[in-house]
Amino acid sequence: MLENIKSSFFQKIIFLLLDERRKLQLIKYNKNFQNLLDIKLINYKIFSGKYIIKEENNKIKEYNYFNNKLIYEGEYLNGKRNGKGKEYDIKGFLIFEGEYFNGKKWNGKIFNDLNNNITYQLTNGKGFIKEYFDDNDTYGNLKFEGEYLNGERNGKGKEYAPVDILVFEGEYLKGKKWNGKGYFNNRSFELKDGIISIEEYDNNGLLTLSFHYLKGEKTGKWILHNEEGKLLYKASYLNDKRNGKFISYYYNGELFFEGEYSNDLKKKEKII
């Protein structure tokens, strides 16, 4: 039976019965299943919800899921960017060229203007770097600028939400916010040694504000109400990833987004 399942014929049947998004989740989060079927990432065109990943001319290419623009072309190893590669922003401009190691930028040139002028150099995972959003509605806005070490945020840096809204300024440690000032919907807070826990209640005992960091990662309930007591944002985090129901409203109280996440992957969504 096991040999039958491993056969190419049975693999095709199994994959036909699965939707494209579920294929990547299966491969990425269930190594036993991957090993059982001897699945290799480059053998399939896979939708991750953000990228379309496929093999072309002996190279892996990642395309933006929403507009099919090329995001990355280069070498892969064990399902991650590894080796020589090029990365592009949502508009198609080159933002990094060099070598990746275990999915992280490691050695290479960083670009941040339309003329492809080199602005920063990354050496052995160390240097100053700028990162940009590449989702369909953010068009390459600045996401992070600061120091890198071992291919991740480490040292002084600034982090932004879309449309250039500052959300954190301070120090990072091994890729995590550690010491500094954060901003949550025009509310500022101080993060020290990767820890903060704030909860506020109104006169009726209603939890109106809640946000928590543990070891530099979002955790627990995140809740925000406006001055009139209307809910603006409600989510649950575990290890810096959304888990469970997620809901947000416009400032006037109208629903903006409602959905459910598992390990930061959307399971259900309703966008108004």
Judge whether residue 253 has pLDDT over 90. Answer: no
Q: What is the DSSP letter of 58?
A: T
Lowest mean pLDDT among 85-99, 128-142, 212-226: 128-142
CA 93 to chain centre: 20
pTM of the model: 0.67
pLDDT number for residue 176: 94
Render pLDDT for 14-42 as a digit per residue (tens, 0 to 9): 444 454 444 444 444 444 444 444 444 44
Determine the average pLDDT of the residues in 103-131. Answer: 81
Q: Which two tokens stand for residue 89?
A: 């922003």
Q: Is pLDDT of 200 > 80?
A: yes
The answer to whether 222 touches 233, Cβ cutoff 8 Å, is yes
Residue 232 exposure: Cα atoms within 13 Å on the Cβ side: 15
Residues 75/98, Cβ–Cβ less than 8 Å: no
Residue 33 contacts by C-beta under 8 Å, 6 or more apart in sequence?
26, 27, 39
CA pair distance 156, 119, nearest whole angstrom: 18
Distance CA 196, CA 213 (A): 5
